[in-house]
Structure 1
Amino acid sequence: MPQPILIAIDASPASTALIDLARRYCRPDQHRLHVLLAIDPTFAVHARPATYSEEEREEYPAACDEQQLAERALQQAVATLREAGFDCESAMVAGQPQDAIVAKAQALDCALIVMGHRHLSRLGRLLDPSISAKVIDRVKVPVLVCPAS
């Protein structure tokens, strides 16, 4: 049975590097890939991909735009991986990224987590510890971290 690997992306251009990394180091015959995108609850208009009513667009334009950007990033990542021959599933959840990543990795009993990393100053890290560091501290599986370009 293929081992599940979790790829945690966001809607930034750095997500492309994560997908490329997974394509390079994973094998379609040995790994089942799960792409997860956690969207900030502030910008979560719906719990899942949906169309937006005119009323929602008028009341929450930034949230609708942010969620649509996230949905497109998730769809593109899955399409790219499927084109490469991977069995791939995806999920978008509203919540704190580290909580969503840890919960999904545990639910899937993942063999590996692939995620990105922002370059922050020491002060930046002190004020806002990185999501990858928070995940690494909470899981018992390897975490492959790809630095942002």
Structure 2
Amino acid sequence: MFNAVLVGIDGSGQTEGIVTIAADLARACGASLHILCVVDPAYFLSKPDGRRPSEADEADYPAAAMERESADDLVHRVLLGLRQQKLSAEGSVVQGEAVERILETASTLGCDAIVLGHRHLSWLGRLTERSVCREVLEKASIPVLVVPSPDKAHPASSIRQG
């Protein structure tokens, strides 16, 4: 069914749940996983050739260096865990606008599914904040598996049995 699955992560509290669901899907389908973390270009520190920045660059731009280091570390830790489970997994940290980079990476790698988390924005949040998940759902030409936020109970679970 699925051969290659792109997994979008951002280091939020949902990351573990997203990776667990993606690992279960990969195991069931025999699929490989590609872990992707997209960093805002304003906080992405790298050389034009894609290499890591120098120590001087990191000292001059500490916030960007920390963001890049955190993203690299996150992807590395997730890959380690997946490989310990004997799953085929690769990963990358890229800069750019999240929706475009997710869709572009999925297409470039020939992925046939995407796994993402969903934040459950409030009504005000939906008016003022952009939902990456919603935009990927609207623009993707391949299936998108959405993992709900663990901190939001499903409305049906709060209905009392009579």
Q: If the length of structure 2 is used for normalisation, what is the TM-score?
A: 0.83
* Map of 1:94 onto structure 2: 95
The answer for the alignment partner of 2:117 in structure 1 is 116
For 1:3 and 1:29, the matched residues in 2 are separated by 7
Equivalent AA in structure 2 for residue 50 of structure 1: R
* 2:148 is equivalent to residue 134 of structure 1: no
**1:27 partner SS:** helix
Structure 1 or 2, whichever has the larger Rg, is 2
**Distance in 2 between residues matched to 1:25 and 1:4, nearest whole Å:** 10
How far apart, in 1, do the equivalents of 2:134 and 2:11 lie?
20
Q: Is the 8 A contact 1:116 1:145 kept in 2?
A: yes
Q: Is the 8 A contact 2:119 2:148 kept in 1?
A: yes
**Equivalent position SS for 2:27:** coil
Q: Over aligned residue pairs, what C-alpha RMSD do you find?
A: 2.0
For the 8 Å contact 1:117–1:147, the answer to whether it is kept is yes
Give 1:64 shift: 0.6
Tell me, yes or no, if the aligned pair for 2:3 and 2:29 is still in contact at 8 Å. Answer: no
Relative contact order (alpha carbons < 8 A, sep ≥ 6): 1 or 2 greater? 1
Q: Any runs of at least 4 consecutive aligned residues in structure 1 with deviations exceeding 6 A, and if so which?
A: none
TM-superposition CA deviations, 1:80-107 (whole Å, max 9, x none): 1111111111111100111110101112
Q: Is the CA contact 1:39–1:93 (under 8 Å) kept in the aligned structure 2?
A: yes
Whole-angstrom distance in 1 between the partners of 2:7 and 2:118: 13
CA distance in 1, matches of 2:92, 2:51: 10
Distance 1:49 1:122, change over 3 A: farther
> Which deviates the most, 24-33 or 74-83?
24-33
Structure 2 equivalent of residue 13 of structure 1: 13
The answer for unaligned runs of 5 or more in structure 1 is: none
How many pairs are equivalent?
A: 148
Instruction: Give structure 2 stretches of 5+ with no counterpart.
Output: 151-162
Q: C-alpha deviations, 1:49-69, integer Å up to 9, x for none?
A: 63641x223311111111101
8 Å CA contact 1:44–1:63 kept in 2: the answer is yes
Structure 1 pair 66–142 and aligned structure 2 pair: CA distance change class (3 A): same
Report if the CA contact (8 A) 2:45-2:53 is conserved.
no
Q: Identity across aligned pairs (percent)?
A: 31
Give 1:147's aligned amino acid.
Answer: P
Instruction: Report the AA paired with residue 71 of structure 1.
Output: D
